[in-house]
């Protein structure tokens, strides 16, 4: 009993390292469907530990077989999240940026320029009732959706956004995806929400925005082709006909409007 209560330096270090790994893992899967799957797997693991402690041999043996092949299954199931986890750890570019004040200021300036460009473009698209579907990627990997569209990887400007959604251009149909203050792709196909409580006045763009927001932590903006109203979507929630002030707050990561 006393051995159990005695903690050394390396015991504390061990706990801190495990906590750090779990925290990074949480940041990787936060806001994605993987978080729910991970919670289910972790629950099964805790149940296995419990039955092992209670010496319930039959069910412990069955769960033990499941756990033994579970690591390989998890690597396949969470391949995108594992890739993102390794990129976060191994990216010396990000570590260098964290220690470089100039890069921090440049990133903040780029973010502000992105917000201004999106707001100005959405206002003009709203006035002309030009439909638009804009996705701002956060921590979730959106590679599967990016690969359905046309790769651009260009600077974000008001003119580029408006030109992409101009009705006579080949890229106007579908979603434009923004990540790390760059226009990554356009004409991307998004999953359509199957929620039954969506108002009939919300069209396919709105349903696609809601569908993506339900499976990722991305922020999505829709400009209605029918009314010109601007709607915002996040975490399977939406706010319709938002003002410029609310849109700006939303792009600045203020999500308080979804708590009402």
Token code pair at residue 9: 């330096």
Q: Which phi and psi (to 5°) does residue 219 adopt?
A: -100, 135
- Secondary structure, 3-state, 239-259: ECCCCHHHHHHHHCCCCHHHC
The alpha carbon of residue 210 and the mean position of all alpha carbons in its chain are separated, in whole angstroms, by: 13
Tell me how far apart the alpha carbons of residues 185 and 183 are, in angstroms, rounded to a whole number.
6
Tell me how far apart the alpha carbons of residues 242 and 231 are, in angstroms, rounded to a whole number.
6
Confidence (pLDDT) at 55: 81
Q: What pairs with residue 14 in β-bridges?
A: none
Tell me how far apart the alpha carbons of residues 234 and 213 are, in angstroms, rounded to a whole number.
5
pTM recorded for the entire structure:
0.66
Task: Name 28's Cβ contacts closer than 8 Å, sequence gap at least 6.
Answer: 81, 84, 85, 88, 139
Q: Which phi and psi (to 5°) does residue 188 adopt?
A: -90, 145
Q: Three-state DSSP class for 148?
A: coil
How many degrees, rounded to 5, is the angle at CA 134 between CA 83 and CA 85? 10
Tell me how far apart the alpha carbons of residues 239 and 222 are, in angstroms, rounded to a whole number.
10
Tell me how far apart the alpha carbons of residues 19 and 239 are, in angstroms, rounded to a whole number.
36
Which stretches of the chain are assigned E, i.e. beta strand? 132-136, 150-154, 175-179, 182-188, 219-223, 230-234, 237-239
Tell me how far apart the alpha carbons of residues 84 and 115 are, in angstroms, rounded to a whole number.
25
Cα–Cα distances in angstroms (integers) from residue 243 to residues 15, 77, 120, 250, in the given order: 47, 40, 12, 11
Low-confidence ranges of the chain (pLDDT < 50): 1-2, 4, 92-93, 103-104
Confidence (pLDDT) at 246: 94
Tell me how far apart the alpha carbons of residues 161 and 214 are, in angstroms, rounded to a whole number.
24
């Amino acid at each position: 009993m006393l051995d159990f209560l005695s903690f050394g330096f390396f015991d504390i270090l061990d706990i801190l390292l495990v906590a750090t790994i779990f925290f990074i893992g949480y940041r990787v899967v936060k806001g994605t469907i993987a978080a729910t799957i991970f919670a289910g797997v972790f629950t099964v693991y805790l149940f296995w530990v419990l039955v092992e402690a209670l010496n319930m041999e039959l069910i412990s043996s069955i769960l033990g077989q499941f756990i033994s092949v579970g690591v390989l299954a998890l690597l396949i199931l969470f391949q995108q999240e594992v890739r993102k986890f390794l990129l976060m750890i191994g990216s010396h570019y990000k570590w260098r940026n964290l220690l470089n004040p100039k890069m921090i200021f440049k990133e903040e300036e780029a973010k502000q320029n992105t917000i201004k460009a999106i707001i100005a473009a959405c206002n003009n698209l709203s006035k002309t009732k030009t439909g638009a579907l804009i996705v701002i990627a956060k921590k979730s990997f959106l590679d599967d959706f990016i690969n359905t569209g046309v790769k651009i990887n260009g600077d974000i400007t008001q003119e580029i956004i408006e030109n992409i959604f101009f009705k006579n251009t080949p890229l106007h149909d579908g979603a434009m995806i923004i990540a790390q203050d760059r226009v990554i792709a356009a004409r991307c196909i998004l999953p359509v929400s199957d929620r039954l409580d969506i108002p009939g006045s919300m069209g396919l763009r709105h349903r696609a925005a809601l569908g993506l927001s339900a499976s990722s932590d991305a922020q999505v903006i829709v400009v209605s082709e029918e009314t010109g109203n601007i709607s915002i979507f996040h975490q399977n929630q939406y706010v319709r006909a938002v003002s410029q002030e609310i849109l700006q707050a939303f792009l600045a990561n203020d999500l308080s409007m979804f708590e009402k």
